[in-house]
Amino acid sequence: MADTSPIGIHDLSFATTEYVLAHTALAQHNGTDVAKYHKGIGQRSMSVPAADEDIVTMGAAAAAPLLERHGSENIRTVIFATESSIDQAKSAGIYVHSLLGMGSATRVVELKQACYGATAALQFAIGLVRRDPAQRVLVVAADVSKYELDSPGEATQGAAAVAMLVGAEPALVRIEEPSGVFTADVMDFWRPNYREAALVDGQESITAYLLAAEGCWKDYTEQGGRPLEEFTAFCYHQPFTKMAYKAHRHLLNHCGHGVDEDRVARDLGLTTAYNNVIGNSYTASVYLALAALLDQADDLSGQAVGLLSYGSGSVAEFFAGTVVPGYRAHLRTAAHRAAIDRREPVDHARYRALHERSFPTDGEEHRTPAETTGPFRLAGIRGHKRVYETRAQRPPRHSQIPR
């Protein structure tokens, strides 16, 4: 008989960058009315990686607290979801596995489908735990959102990593069985292998998102999912936080509910607090929305939360999570707020210089300036190999510091 014990998110932690750029500084630079950013797209600031930060340093920083609390003995799989890949062959997860000193009896893989990747990782993790409930899976979602300078997408940039420990009898959120999925071949956002910045048709991407939201909701109901009224809150992928509002209004209309703005505010209000100061973290974004909701809501014990994950190109999935009674004792609210508050504001010129930075491709040794105060840093590149180091006082178990 199939094991039906609940499986879901046992612990969740996020990390973001060393620096932050306020949208007031961006607006001042390009002569835009700042209200377009604050109200029009719902963004107040964006996380900016230091020269020695990337998806690996953020991913390891997000995951380290999970391993400190739970150990790594039962983790036999690490799934790293990203669309900001640093290598076409090697998984960024292997660097994280090494920096965290995890055991060799682990499978590590990287997944990609734009901003949807982490949801695929979560669902695949649930499948693995269903097969062996004694195992846990570490899911790391990390991205640096980078558009061309002075392009419409620039104001929606950001960077962050979310790490989730997926297991049986989870302490935070049980992920329910029915899932609604949707795929359509559209070119709303993409990044060819030879480009660092993504290409995007912004208005097309909004239309594609809404179509996908409708499509995965339709499939969700056909799979026997809950009716809309049963959800206490909805966590959407938030490329900019106003997109969640657009999507939710669209879904309410589609379901024949009409749009009651008080209801929309109630359904989404607590989910945007992290994304509106971090910016788009691509595949991590929907899970930052979940973190913001769990960290701020009074008590969601036993209540259903809807999650809508969208990745351009495009794939979307709607699924439900039930919040586990007692979850508040396991939250990392103070650490999450500290990750946001510790960022150092940069002016526009510094942000621009960081944006334009890229590694030479000559295979020589290039060291990065020591900027981050986070636990891990990208020390440089040598012989086409990225070199990471741990900034802890004591030497790491598997040091990668160049000799």
Question: CA 283, CA 85: separation in Å to the nearest integer?
Answer: 12
- Cα distance between residue 368 and residue 242, in whole Å: 36
Helix (H) or strand (E) holding 205: helix 202-222
- At which residue do the structure tokens 């180091």 appear? 389
Structure-block tokens of residue 178: 């029915």
Tell me which of 23, 53, 97, 115 is the catalytic residue: 115
Residue 205 CB, shortest distance to ligand COA, in Å, is 4
Q: Is 35 in the site for ligand COA (CB under 6 A)?
A: yes
Strand duo 107-111 + 75-81: pairing? parallel
Selected binder of ligand COA within 40, 133, 178, 269 (CB under 6 A): 40
Report the residue number, 36 or 342, with the smaller CB distance to ligand COA.
36
Taking each helix axis as running N to C, give the angle between helix 241-254 and helix 202-222, from 0 to 180 degrees, rounded to the nearest 10: 50
Helix pair angle (92-99, 55-70), 10° resolution: 50
d(CA 108, CA 93): 6
CA–CA separation, 225 and 239 (whole Å): 26
Q: Can you point out the beta strands (E) in 243-343? A: 304-311, 315-323
Element housing 387 (H / E)? strand 385-390
255 has catalytic annotation? no
Nearer to ligand COA, 27 or 161 (CB): 27
Site for ligand COA, residues 204 to 223, rule: CB under 6 A: 205-206, 209
How far is it between the farthest Cα atoms of the chain? 64
Contact call for residues 117 and 82 (beta carbons, < 8 A): yes
Is 246 part of any known ligand binding site? yes
**Residue 83 catalytic?**
yes
Establish if 68 lies at the interface with ligand COA (CB under 6 A).
no
The question of whether 366 is a catalytic residue gets the answer: no
234: nearest Cα among 318, 309, 307 = 307
Q: Does 155 bind ligand COA (CB under 6 A)?
A: yes
Q: How far is the CB of 178 from ligand COA (least distance, A)?
A: 24
Binding of ligand COA by 202 (CB under 6 A): yes
Q: Does 33 bind ligand COA (CB under 6 A)?
A: yes
Of 240 and 376, nearer to ligand COA (C-beta) is: 240
Q: Decide whether 148 or 176 has the Cβ nearer to ligand COA.
A: 148
345 forms part of the interface with ligand COA (CB under 6 A): no
Residue 116 annotated as part of some ligand binding site? no
Segment lying near ligand COA (by CB under 6 A), choices 89-97, 220-228, 239-247, 373-381: 239-247
On whether 147 is known to bind a ligand per the annotation, the reply is: yes
Catalytic residue, chosen from 18, 53, 83, 317, is 83
The answer to whether residue 312 forms part of the interface with ligand COA (CB under 6 A) is yes
CA distances from 94 to 143, 152, 325, 379 (A): 16, 34, 34, 17
What region, left, alpha or beta, does residue 363 occupy, with left being phi > 0 and alpha being psi -120 to 50 degrees?
Answer: left
Residue nearest to ligand COA (CB): 40
* 117 is a contact residue toward ligand COA (CB under 6 A): no
- Nearer to ligand COA by C-beta: 234 or 376? 234
Binding site for ligand COA (CB under 6 A): 33, 35-36, 39-41, 152-153, 155-156, 200, 202-203, 205-206, 209, 239-240, 243, 312
Which amino acids are annotated as binding site for (3S)-3-hydroxy-3-methylglutaryl-CoA, given as ranges?
A: 33, 147, 246, 280
Catalytic residue IDs: 83, 115, 237
